[in-house]
Amino acid sequence: MKSTTNKQVLITGASSGIGEAFAHEFAKRGNAVILVARSEAKLIDLAAKLHNQYGVQAEAIVCDLSQPDAPARLYQQCTERGLHVDILVNNAGFATYGLFEQLSGARQHEEIRLNVLAVVDLTHLFLPDMLKRKSGIVINVASTAAFQPLPNMAVYGATKSFILSFTQALWEENRKRGVQFLALCPGSTETEFFNVVGANEASVGKRGTPAGVVQAAFRSLQANRVYVIPGFQNFVSSQLSRFFTRKQMLFLVGRMLRPRT
Q: Which residues have a catalytic role annotated? A: 156
What are the DSSP E strand ranges found in the chain?
8-12, 32-37, 58-62, 87-90, 136-141, 179-184, 227-228
Pairing mode, if any, of strands 227-228 and 179-184? Answer: parallel
**φ, ψ of residue 258 in degrees (nearest 5):** -70, 150
Q: Which amino acid is at 197?
A: V
| HSE, side-chain direction, 13 A CA sphere, residue 31 | 24
Q: Residue 58 in 3-state DSSP? A: strand
**Within 82-179, where are the H helices?**
105-112, 118-133, 154-174
- R_g of the chain computed on alpha carbons: 18
**φ, ψ of residue 47 in degrees (nearest 5):** -60, -40
Q: How many Cβ atoms are within 10 Å of 226's Cβ, its own excluded?
A: 16
